Structure 1
Amino acid sequence: MTLTNYWWLLIWMFTGGILLEILVPRRRELVCGKMEERWDTVSALILVIPYIIWAGYRTDAFGDTRAYRMAFRNAPTQLGQLTEYLSTITKDKGFSVLTVLVKCIIGNSDVLFFLIIATIQLLCIVYICRKYSCNYWLSMFLFVASTDYISWMHNGIRQFLAITIVFASTELLIKKKYIQLILIILLASTIHASMLFMIPVVFIVQGKAWNKKSVLCIIACIIALFFVDQFTDILDTALSTTQYSGMVSDWEEWGDDGTNPIRVLVYSIPMLLSIIGYKQIKASDNPLIHITTNFSILAFGTALLSMSTSGIFIGRMIQPTFVYAILILLPWELKNIFTEESSKLMQIFTVIGYVAFFYYQMHITWGML
């Protein structure tokens, strides 16, 4: 069950998607006050099952899988040992608690542990995309073809687990139930502290698309880009008393030269399309589309800043905003800001473009194809 030919990531997405589209009729349901066509829950789950299995049976060849595997194997098997074990953990203890709880239930199978984590992550993605995306298949395709599936479910699983938990709370964001949402963010931050970044973000993205708050944020990122040395000094001082102290010196020591400009271009697509389709976004009067547009602006600003600072650290701040921009906003833009004929053509171009990016990232950058 271990994935050895990574082309299967796209092969299954196309073949499975076509079969499910033909065999399983869509159903109509109420979404944000409007009747919309959506995939059936069972077919939506069937599409992602192989990706859960591949994430569970992955090898140590990519990313930090080996580190997570060793951490799981070294975790205690009895709850009575939890307190002593946590005293040895210096950060993000929520994930360590989850690791021990899971290990107490399933035993020493690290494969089963990875399967459980991958299941939680993808179920959160499926729940939101099936409900809120106007094109569920395209959302899942973009997640895989952008290589975010590999980047986050075969690597960086702790942060992505935290991201998907918050992403699953999108309804609270739409309804402005801030207390419940902030409590969930605080819970997720025990798994990965970077999620604290989302507390101010949930207020910034509220309101109309391209409002003053989101525009000021992108201006701030551009200013920081021009004064990057001063920005890194301020960042180093601000983080000096946190678990991320020394982050700036770490990325300089590791030779981290920032996020790849081609990936930054990919991250910018939803934001650029929101400029082209601003009238349609405004006319839609859809609070989720306005929110995700503002997320796309923050994603672009952060990506731009990470290009000249750190792809490992600053680049990681993109993903909590990018999941909204690529999984929800981009399919809506392709469907709604063009004519019906142009929309189909743009979706074809998007699929071709992302397949090309998949090849570039997997073959040229990572050497995995």
Structure 2
Amino acid sequence: MIIYNSMIIWIVVLGIWNKLVMQAQGETQRFTQKQRDYKVPMYLAILTFGYIIFWVGMRSGVADTKAYINSFNAYPSSLATIPQYWDFSENKSPGFITFSILFKHFISTDYHMWLMTIAILSGIPIMLILRKKSKYFFYSSFLFMTGLIFFWMLNGMRQFWAATIVFLFSDWIE
């Protein structure tokens, strides 16, 4: 609970800091529906979501994390075993399993690195789209946290990762 509250406080503090810096620089402007030129500086977006991604990647016992860790540890690290996981009648997510096997073979067998990589690959698309599309980045980030949407990064990683990839390509979909 302390970590969750710290994430919310972190977003609020960075949002207030951004507002104060804007006022000090005289960049405060009224937004109209046609005028959405201001974007939060990238370093603030990275600081905001970097904190969230860090804690999501460092978890060990939240929600379905134990099941994901056990699955990752059970996956083989041999590339020759990948085709057996592509049977759609037996496996729910052959792409995710293939990613995990490739990760284990080429990068690391440590599940902490695997969880952090998935947290990064899930969090960055959300950060980029909120920064690009949201009129108020920090308010949208605050809603992302308080609406418990971020919980999908912990529970239902496979589905959330697929959703963030689709979300990332929303410009093409539009």
Alignment of structure 1 residues 182-221 onto 2, 5 Å: none
1: distance between equivalents of 2:172 and 2:124?
Answer: 17
Are the equivalent residues in 2 in contact too, given 1:10–1:145 (CA < 8 A)? Answer: yes
Q: Which residue in the other structure is 1:333 paired with?
A: none
3-state SS in 1 of match to 2:38: strand
Query: For 1:5 and 1:41, how far apart are their aligned partners in 2?
Result: 24
* Aligned match of 1:70: 70
Matches within 5 A, 1:98-247: 98-149=99-150, 151-174=151-174
Question: Partners in 1 of 2:6 and 2:36 — Cα distance?
Answer: 35
**Which amino acid is the alignment partner of residue 74 of structure 2?**
N
Shift of 1:19: 2.7
Tell me the amino acid that sits aligned with residue 9 of structure 1.
Answer: M
Give the Å deviation of 1:90: 1.9
Superposition deviation, residue 23 in structure 1:
4.2
Instruction: Specify the SS of the correspondent of 2:77.
Output: coil
Q: How much does 1:42 deviate?
A: 2.2
- Measured at CA, do residues 19 and 131 of structure 1 come closer, stay the same or move farther in structure 2, by a change above 3 Å? same
Between structure 1 and structure 2, the one with the greater Rg is 1
Shift of 1:35: 5.1
Correspondence for 1:14: 12
Deviation at 1:74, TM superposition (A): 1.0
Q: RMSD between aligned alpha carbons?
A: 2.6
Separation in 2, partners of 1:169, 1:127: 11
| SS of match in other structure, 2:143 | helix
Deviation at 1:34, TM superposition (A): 5.3
Letter in 1 for 2:116: L
1:77–1:107 contact (8 Å) kept in structure 2: no
Whole-angstrom CA distance in 1 between matches of 2:37 and 2:93 = 39
Q: Distance in 2 between matches of 1:4 and 1:113?
A: 24
Contact 1:121 / 1:164 at 8 angstroms: preserved in 2? yes
Aligned counterparts of 1:35 and 1:5: Cα–Cα separation in 2: 33
Q: TM-score, normalised by structure 2?
A: 0.84
Aligned equivalents of 1:141 and 1:35: distance in 2?
Answer: 20
**Deviation, structure 1 residue 78:** 2.4
Structure 1, residues 129-176: CA drift from partner, whole Å, max 9, x if none?
A: 111111111111000011121x201111111101111111111122xx
Are the counterparts in 2 of residues 75 and 85 from structure 1 also a CA contact under 8 Å?
A: no
CA distance in 2, matches of 1:49, 1:81: 34
Residue 113 (structure 1) shift: 0.8
Q: Take 1:169 and 1:78, find their aligned partners in 2: how far apart are those partners?
A: 32
Q: What is residue 31 of structure 2 aligned with on the other side?
A: none
* 3-state SS of 2:171 partner: helix
- Where does structure 1 lack aligned partners over 5 or more consecutive residues? 27-32, 175-369
CA deviations 1:227-272 (Å, max 9, x no partner) are xxxxxxxxxxxxxxxxxxxxxxxxxxxxxxxxxxxxxxxxxxxxxx
Q: Separation in 1 of the partners of 2:172 and 2:35?
A: 18
TM-score computed with the length of structure 1 as normaliser: 0.41
Residues 78 and 129 of structure 1: is their aligned pair in 2 closer, same or farther, counting only changes over 3 Å? same
Q: Tell me which amino acid in the other structure corresponds to 1:104.
A: H
Q: How far apart, CA to CA, are the structure 1 residues paired with 2:90 and 2:103? A: 17
8 Å contact from structure 2 (residues 85, 94) kept in 1: no
Aligned sequence identity (%): 29
Instruction: Report the CA distance between 1:17 and its aligned residue.
Output: 2.6
Structure 1 equivalent of residue 93 of structure 2: 92
Letter of the 1:48 partner, please give it.
Answer: F
After superposition, the C-alpha distances for 1:299-342 in whole angstroms (9 at most, x for unaligned) are xxxxxxxxxxxxxxxxxxxxxxxxxxxxxxxxxxxxxxxxxxxx
Distance (Å, rounded) in 1 between the aligned partners of 2:53 and 2:129: 17
